[in-house]
Amino acid sequence: MSGHSKWSTIKRKKGALDAKRGKIFTKLIKEITISARDGGGDPDGNPRLRLAIDNAKSQNMPADNITRAIKKGTGEQDGVNYIEVTYEGYGPSGVAILVECLTDNKNRTIAEVRHLFSKYGGSLGENGSVAWMFEHKGIITLPAQGKTEDDIFEIISEAGADDLNTEEDFYEVVTTIESFEPVRRQLVQLGLEIENASLQWIAKNTAPVSGDASEKVIKLIDMLEDSDDVQNVYTNADFEDE
């Protein structure tokens, strides 16, 4: 099992807990708002917004919340002016970590991120210090839905996907940036449920961690994800004993 697949399994479980706590709604609303701000409020002409709305709906976000977030992005309602920023650093055992943020105060955010790296056994790096270890990919997560691996592989291959990771009760489809939307659209047209679809930073090579090191890395990532300004955290850690 690849390190990314293992981390996907962990993230999926964590995501379910975040949804119960309501934290995921805050992150989705931010993404909808900034997508509407940058590309307009019409999802038919704004792929990023359409994706954000689809992901919000998959988490059962009420339509009124989605509409308000769009209007805040387009300026029809007052809202916070978010900016996107990515921080890079090293975690315990030297694993690489990328942290994507949406914030209205960069000074506050970088201070918080630096503090968390330091407190939990890591160190914040300079821009470019670890980004070269990752590739930008499309990731589409599907519940198994009674489909075999061969079924899904045939569908996504025809649509131009790169790879398929198979877990116990879900599939993870990997695409290039260019083929992400065609593959996602094909799955939707076939009536398959999509749990999540997003553009992510995937490690080119993984770094194995186990035992106490795994726990320390996961603790750091947990604390980063708990930060209000953090949207996504990516790592090249391969959690061998999870």
pLDDT tens for the chain, 242 residues: list them: 344 555 566 666 666 556 555 678 889 999 999 999 999 999 999 989 999 999 898 888 999 999 999 999 998 888 778 899 999 999 999 999 999 999 999 999 999 999 999 999 999 999 999 999 999 999 999 888 888 888 888 888 888 898 988 887 889 999 999 999 889 988 988 888 888 898 999 999 999 998 898 899 999 998 999 898 999 999 999 887 54
Q: The pTM is what? A: 0.84
Residues whose CB falls within 8 Å of the CB of residue 150, separated by 6 or more in sequence, listed in order? none
Give which of 129, 89, 92, 90 is closest to 110, Cα–Cα: 89
Enumerate the β-bridge partners of residue 224. Answer: none
Sign of CA dihedral 201, 26, 225, 165: negative
CATH architecture label of 3-74: Orthogonal Bundle (1.10)
